[in-house]
């Protein structure tokens, strides 16, 4: 199976490298020529357009910033569908609006092309070590054809339902992650302001009911003042915007999500949009006039 990979950003580049390490022939394309050269040096074939990637491969993976980018790359001029053959599979691993996933899948079906929406969770560290959680929407038989190579990028690969279900599940994931980071931030700022060592708080609560994967990943970053992005605040804003829009279409209120969205928007205005989402704590630190550090 020859695989195309379009989108070699913070997440896409290590994901593509893991496919190469697993022995899959890979054709790559990105507007960032430096990333393309890096993958070529690792053994990938290169293409000059999304159309060319599709012409050379059996499966095309896209890993792009948001819904408009996926529509442009797949449906637009010189896009994947212009080079696709009947029977090809598109696996969109971007985090996009569920309705966009359905729309693109409909366009693909008109050309005899199958599609899965398969967004991921875990950030850059898990993309690098191949331990992402992958949430998939689409036909079971198409999922079974793709599960093998998906498992080279993630340790949890779950079919969640029909097309769009992957992104609905990702939105649920992003709501829980955002609220966890905000709760962690409130708690640590309270503890620090009260004069209790935040590292001690972390040690004391991590083994109890408050312990979580979020806590384990993000508290060490906060304590060291390291907000280098594994997952940028601006990308989490995008995901929460998709969650809120989808919820409003379905008649589902999201009051807590909306509050965290406004916190992230405030950080964006404060010039911190490119920080890791653990940087949510900086909003609380500014209000309380204290920093949570070792």
Say which CATH number the domain at 36 has. Answer: 3.40.50.720
Q: Which of 25, 46, 147, 30 is nearest to 91 (CA)?
A: 147
What are the angstrom distances between the C-alpha of 128 and each of 104, 185, 242, 248, 273? 28, 26, 26, 35, 23
Residue ranges of E strands in 112-221: 114-117, 120-121, 132-137, 154-161
Written as six digits, the tokens of 70 are: 């996926």
**Pair (55, 102) in one structural domain:** yes
- Boundary (domain end) residue, out of 163, 192, 216: 163
pLDDT at residue 48, as a whole number: 97
What are the φ and ψ backbone dihedral angles of 193, each rounded to 5 degrees?
-65, -30
In a domain, 293, yes or no: no
Looking at residue 230, its pLDDT comes to 84
Task: Kindly state whether residues 148 and 242 are assigned to the same domain.
Answer: no
Buried (b) or exposed (e) across 207-220, using 16+ Cβ within 10 A? Answer: eeeeebebbebbbe
The reply to whether 254 falls in a domain is yes
Instruction: Please count the structural domains in the chain.
Output: 2
pLDDT tens, position by position, 22-68:
999 999 999 999 999 999 999 999 999 999 999 999 999 999 999 99
Q: Is residue 253 part of a domain?
A: yes
Q: Are residues 12 and 97 in the same domain?
A: yes
Quick check: is 71 catalytic? no
Give the separation between CA 259 and CA 224, rounded to whole angstroms: 26
Q: What is the pLDDT of residues 205-236, one digit of tens each?
A: 999 999 999 999 999 999 999 999 989 999 99
Q: What is the pLDDT of residue 123?
A: 87
Q: Which of 268, 267, 242 is nearest to 257 (CA)?
A: 242
Question: Same structural domain for residues 283 and 152?
Answer: no
pTM of the predicted protein model: 0.93
Residue 188 structural domain: 168-288
One domain, residues 157 and 201:
no
Q: What is the mean pLDDT of the chain?
A: 97
Query: Are 145 and 77 within one domain?
Result: yes
- Which residues sit opposite 114 in a β-bridge? 89
Query: What is the Cα Rg of the chain in Å?
Result: 20
Pick from 163, 196, 219: which residue ends a domain? 163
Provide the Cα torsion 49, 55, 59, 63; round to 10°.
Answer: 10
* Model confidence pLDDT, tens digit, residues 144-185: 999 999 999 999 999 999 999 999 999 999 999 999 999 999
Domain boundary among 163, 191, 215: 163
Integer Cα distance of 248 and 237 in angstroms: 16
Please tell me which residue in 13, 17, 170, 218 is annotated as part of the active site: 170
The verdict on 105 and 226 lying in the same domain is: no
Q: Which residues pair with 154 in a beta bridge?
A: 132
């Amino acid at each position: 199976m020859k695989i195309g990979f379009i989108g070699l950003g913070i997440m896409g580049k290590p994901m593509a490298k893991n496919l190469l390490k697993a022995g899959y022939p890979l054709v790559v394309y990105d507007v960032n020529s430096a990333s393309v050269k890096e993958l070529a040096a690792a053994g990938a074939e290169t293409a000059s357009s999304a159309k060319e990637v599709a012409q050379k491969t059996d499966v095309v993976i896209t890993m792009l910033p948001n819904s408009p980018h996926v529509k442009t790359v797949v449906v637009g001029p010189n896009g994947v569908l212009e080079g696709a053959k009947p029977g090809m599979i598109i696996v969109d691993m971007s985090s996009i609006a569920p309705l966009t996933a359905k729309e693109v899948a409909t366009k693909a079906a008109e050309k005899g092309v199958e599609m899965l929406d398969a967004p991921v969770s875990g950030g850059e560290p898990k993309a690098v070590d191949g331990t992402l959680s992958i949430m998939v929407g689409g036909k079971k038989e198409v999922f079974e054809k793709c599960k093998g190579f998906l498992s080279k990028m993630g340790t949890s690969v779950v079919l969640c339902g029909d097309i769009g279900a992957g992104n609905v599940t990702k939105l649920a994931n992003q709501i829980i992650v955002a609220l966890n980071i905000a709760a962690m931030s409130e708690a640590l700022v309270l503890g620090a302001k009260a004069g209790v060592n935040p590292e001690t708080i972390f040690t004391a609560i991590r083994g109890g009911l408050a312990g979580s994967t979020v806590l384990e990943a993000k508290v060490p970053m906060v304590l060291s003042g390291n907000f280098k992005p594994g997952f940028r605040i601006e990308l989490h804003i995008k995901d929460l915007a998709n969650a809120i829009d989808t919820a409003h279409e379905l008649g589902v209120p999201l009051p807590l999500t909306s509050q965290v969205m406004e916190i992230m928007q405030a950080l964006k205005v404060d010039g911190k949009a490119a920080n890791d989402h653990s940087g949510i704590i900086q909003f609380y630190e500014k209000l309380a006039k204290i920093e949570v550090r070792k």
